[in-house]
Structure 1
Amino acid sequence: LSSRTFRETLTSTWASYMTNSPTVIVMIGLPARGKTYMSKKLTRYLNWIGVPTKVFNLGVYRREAVQSYKSYDFFRHDNKEAMLIRKHCALVALQDVKAYLNEEGGQIAVFDATNTTRERRELILHFAEDNSYKVFFVESLCDDPDVIATNILDVKVSSPDYPERDRESVMEDFLKRIECYKVTYKPLDPDEHDRSRSFIQVINVGRRFLVNKVQDYIQSKIVYYLMNIHVHSHSIYLCRHGESQYNVEGRIGGDSELSERGRQFSAALKAFVQEHHLSDLKVWTSQLRRTIQTAEELGVPYEQWKILNEIDAGVCEEMSYEGIEEKYPEDPTRTWFSGWSRSSWSWSGRATCWSSVIRPSCAVCSPISWTRVQVRC
């Protein structure tokens, strides 16, 4: 198999394992509540774990239909002409969702729009039912004026809706746009009207959550990721361990200690941390000695995670590259990858490609919710 064919086969097989029918994730919330941010982050994560996912942002469709944006009046509920345009854009976007899920191999479509009325949500539900799609709602609720103002200034000022507009006029117009949506906004009702729906409500950018009727594994992954997402920026440093004795000897795997140059690297890493004033560090390592010894030099607390251990080489563990070629004279590259393309089971005792996706997933999600600096060796 070529690398591309292998990757496509792996993605298709893994996606069918994760999902038993296509899912439409429907974003809900007033403007400036972080819906697009969550949509992009969630889509990136789902694609990373092997589930083909695409965002359909209704704002893009609106801007294509209406070339120039004038003011918040376009979003008034009594602007009948604009309401017809907005509904038409939603229908066009849903047809693109259908094409993606039915014809292009997609498994999840993220419908990124306000979807603040029950009428709009019922339209989407009927569309999904007609096409045998599952629906999962993600509602962002926020009444913190500081968060809303920050989001407007950080994101909306540079929006295509406001070319060459100053910050004050953007803020004024956008706040009026929000008021237009508030007139008809009906949040999800977990007690009565929407109690049979599958959804998560993200309240005040993650201070609280309400989760209702999760249907399947992929929805649980979505919930897990959204409960760990963080809207504030922070730094994550990924660091390879220092050179090990097995690196010097040309062997793979194993649990050898650092070489002399590896210890020098650890000292240099400590100097880097001190030079850049990386205080309040949270450090993670694998359970292998070479990573632990690299972190110990930093002189700060660290956690050992089994899921960060190097992928197991099976019968080739601790062998040199020359030894592998001598014992397994066939193409070493084909030997190394052939087991991964067969199934989720290990081949020749080595870890599979499935495990290389599954094991690190929570290690990737968890640090997203931390606000302090993190180093991972």
Structure 2
Amino acid sequence: PPSRPQLVQRKIMADQGDTEAKGAVAEGSDAMPRPPPVNTSLQAQRSSHQESPRSPLPAHVKQAVDVAKVQPLSNPYPQNFERPVYTNGDRFFLCLVGLPGRGKTFISYRVSHWLEYFHDIPTKVINLGNARRKLVGKQSNSFFDHTNESAKKMLDKARMICLDDIKKFLLEDEEGKHVGRVAIYDAANITVENRKQVVEAMKGVLPMAHIIFVEVIQTDIEKIKSHIRNVKIHVGMPDFKTASDKDKGEENPAREGVSEEHAVQEYMQRIEQYKKTYVPLGGDKNLSFIKIIDDGRQVTVNRIKGFLPGRIVNYLTSIHTQPRPIYLSRHGESQYNVLRKVGGNSPLSPLGEKYAVALAEWVKINVLDPKEPLSKKPQHARLYTSSLRRTIDTVRHFDHTIQKDGWVTMRRREWRALDEIFAGVFDGMTYDQIKQKAPMQFQARLKNKLEYRYPRGESYMDVIKRVEQAVLCIEALQDPVVVVAHQAVLRIVYCYFMMRDKNKAPKVSIPLNTVIKLVPRNHGCEEGDPLANKKILATYIL
């Protein structure tokens, strides 16, 4: 039988209403457990509900105050919260392969920016053409003849300079941290000897599996010529600046008076010189390589393993060199914009409704029926929005005509990845309220807007991670696309396509009632004429 102290303790616990104690069996007792009493009194339920304490402040305000004031009693070894970086220490070397005019430089700089922007991986692009021009200056097409022995020696010297720079970069150690790096070698590397030279130079620096060759093949002659015009001549290939570049402050005396068509023909002649010694990848199955044919129509992968190489393959299948417009617009003014509240899912204000009508008219004239289309093919214009009400309401007046091939124009695709940054416990508050109720949080945000995370919410770094999937889809498109989203999200998208540092994203101006046009190029985007990015309400409404 239980001792007296055990029985007394059991009685005390029962009197206190502890249901677990009421049903428990004392140690050594043969008694059966009794079920706890059930309170079926409706009056008792109402009474307990009425007696529950109520906060004088709204719940989200009280949570914000609590989060701002709570401090641990003792934490002598706090964990530092730092920006996520690719810290496993792996080094990779991407070596481009292919004839001129295929988009190797475009791919090199896009991959470099993508790795730094979305994955915080230090990268460096080393261009053989730049090294060659430093040694011998600009040369005619005869310089690239494979029978020109003196030119061959100078090119070999330029290659060794590039490979030495690559080795120095890969062996650097950033502030004693074991951080991964990616070097990108932008050169033709069209012969087996060129590629063997690369492998030999990297012995002792990288394992074979970390040397990845990326071959770019384009079989459409018209696309090659278009790429030469749009990138090599207009954007700024040093060897091929025409007389029109004088207007841009880029006069090249050696090229003065050369027409655009003549420059294209001269570049095509250079390509013919390279073709004489070109050997595509595939003969050596021990090499790790990625072969991209016709802007991703066909992709061949050999000996590619691991997280980062797999991500690089995924990215390379998304990008292409064909120009197309990307239009960015914030949603129309919302009711929370009028009240200066953060976040929320409010409907449009009266001014926002006017913008929705004006935007639909602007898109119909400038996107669906442009005066100077970038492509002669029927344009399957697309529309991306977030999942929030204010973006969906903004595009509800868009024209959705069905084309002859069955394509529904501007059919809306909803992306949760494009939702506005989540303000957590501050959602629905004004910045004045945040400053008053949580001054420490307010100051922390001002100090580092990129990495500051709202309590129980998101930071810009969090948004960058989720926006990547939408950006990859936009990269893959060859048709015009209109993206209607939010200020923080569009800041990130804009800085990515303009190839700007993500640290500048939180300060980029993305005003309401404005459309921004971008056309991807080699080193970023060609932004539309500022007059075309005017507040369209001034044109169609006011």
- TM-score bracket, shorter-length normalisation: 0.7 to 0.9
After superposing the two structures, state which structure 1 stretch, 221-230 or 87-96, moved more: 221-230
Matching of residue 26 in structure 1 with residue 95 in structure 2: yes
Question: 2:434 matched to 1:324?
Answer: yes
Which sits farther off after the overlay, 161-170 or 37-46? 161-170
| Alpha-carbon offset, residue 39 of structure 1 | 1.6
1:59, distance to aligned residue in structure 2 (A): 0.6
Q: Residue type of the partner of 1:60?
A: N
Which residue of structure 2 lines up, in the alignment, with residue 187 of structure 1? 280
Residue segments in structure 2 that go unaligned for 5+ positions in a row: 1-79, 175-179, 241-254, 370-379, 401-410, 485-542
1:340–1:372 Cα change, 3 Å: closer
Alignment of 1:245-264 (within 5 A): 245-264=335-354
The alpha carbon displacement at 1:29 in A equals 0.4
What is the aligned length?
360
SS in 2 for 1:228: coil
Contact 1:32 1:151 in 2 (8 A): yes
- Identity of aligned pairs, percent? 33
Q: Is 1:107 matched up with 2:181? A: yes
Corresponding residue for 2:163? 94
The aligned runs of 1:143-182 (5 Å cut-off) are 143-156=219-232, 159-162=237-240, 163-164=255-256, 165-166=258-259, 170-182=263-275
Matched-pair contact (CA < 8 Å) for 2:346–2:390: yes
Q: Is the 8 A contact 1:246 1:252 kept in 2?
A: yes
Tell me how far 1:355 sits from its aligned partner: 2.0
Contact (CA 8 Å) 1:15, 1:107: kept in 2 or not? no
CA distance in 2, matches of 1:90, 1:331: 52
Cα distance in 1, alignment partners of residues 387 and 458 from structure 2: 16
1:341 CA drift (Å): 5.0
Deviations 1:119-165 (A, max 9, x none): 22122223333223722211011233323333344445564335234
Q: SS at the partner of 1:130? A: coil
Q: Aligned-pair distance for 1:373? A: 1.9
Task: Please tell me whether residue 81 in structure 1 is matched to residue 150 in structure 2.
Answer: yes
Deviation at 1:62, TM superposition (A): 0.7
2:194 maps to amino acid: R
User: Conserved in 2, the CA contact under 8 Å of 1:14 and 1:51?
Assistant: no
1:268 aligned to which of 344, 351, 358: 358
Separation in 2, partners of 1:208, 1:290: 40
Over 3 Å counting, the alpha-carbon distance change for 1:175 and 1:319 in structure 2 is closer
For the residue of structure 1 that corresponds to 2:346, the secondary structure is coil
CA contact (8 A) 2:227 2:321 kept: no
Rg larger in structure: 2
Q: CA deviation at 1:167?
A: 5.0
Answer yes or no: is the 8 Å Cα contact 2:125–2:185 preserved in 1: yes
SS in 2 for 1:229: coil
Counterparts of 1:171 and 1:267, CA distance in 2: 44
1:52 aligns with 2:104: no
Unaligned runs of 5+ in 1: 1-8
Shift of 1:104: 7.7
Alignment match, 1:132: 206
How many Å separate the matches in 1 of 2:190 and 2:134?
A: 22
Higher relative contact order (CA 8 A, sep 6+): 1
More moved, 171-180 vs 238-247? 171-180
Tell me the CA shift for residue 215 of structure 1: 2.6
The residue correspondences of 1:195-344 to structure 2 (distance < 5 A) are 195-276=285-366, 278=368, 280-300=380-400, 301-330=411-440, 332-334=442-444
Report Cα offsets for 1:57-102 as digits up to 9, x if no partner: 1011111111241x33322223222111111101111222233333
Deviations 1:23-80 (A, max 9, x none): 22110001122211222222232232232322211011111111241x3332222322
Tell me how far apart the structure 1 counterparts of residues 445 and 195 of structure 2 sit (CA, whole Å).
51
TM-score, structure 2 normalization: 0.61
Tell me if 1:365 matches 2:472.
yes
How many angstroms apart in 2 are the aligned matches of 1:52 and 1:90? 22
Q: What SS class does the counterpart of residue 375 from structure 1 fall into? A: strand
Look up the match of 1:5: none
Which of residues 482, 491, 507 in structure 2 aligns to 1:375? 482
Calculate the TM-score normalised by the size of structure 1: 0.85
User: Are the counterparts in 1 of residues 145 and 273 from structure 2 also a CA contact under 8 Å?
Assistant: yes
* Distance in 2 between residues matched to 1:47 and 1:356, nearest whole Å: 15
SS in 2 for 1:14: coil
Task: Report the counterpart of residue 142 of structure 1 in structure 2.
Answer: 218
Q: Residues 205 and 274 (structure 1 numbering): CA distance in 2 closer, same or farther, change over 3 Å?
A: closer
Summarize the Cα distance change of 1:150–1:340 in structure 2 as closer, same or farther, 3 Å threshold. Answer: closer
Matched, 1:42 2:111: yes
In the TM superposition, what whole-angstrom CA distance separates every residue of 1:235-284 from its partner, at most 9, and x where no partner exists?
11111111112222222112111122211221221222233252543111
* Equivalent position amino acid for 2:239 in 1: D
SS of the residue 1:255 aligns to = coil
